[in-house]
Copies of this chain bind each other. A is one copy, B any other.
Amino acid sequence: MKLDPQDIEARFRRHAVRVTRQRAAIYAALVETTSHPSADDLYRLVKRQQPMMSRNTVYYTLGVLRNAGLIREVNVGHDMARYDGNVSLHHHLICLGCGQILDVLDEDLNRLQLSNGQARGFDVLRHRVEFHGYCVSCQQAERNVSPRRK
Contacts and interface: CB of A to CB of B under 8 A. Distances in A.
A129 interface: yes
A52 interface: no
B129 A124 contact: no
A82 to B, nearest CB: 10
A15 interface: no
A128 interface: yes
Contacts of A16: none
Nearest to A132: B126
Given A75-B75, A127-B132, A93 B121 contact: no
A134 B122 contact: yes
A133 B129 contact: no
A108 to B, nearest CB: 9
B133 A118 contact: no
Interface string A73-91: 1010110010000000000
A118 B104 contact: yes
A61 to B, nearest CB: 17
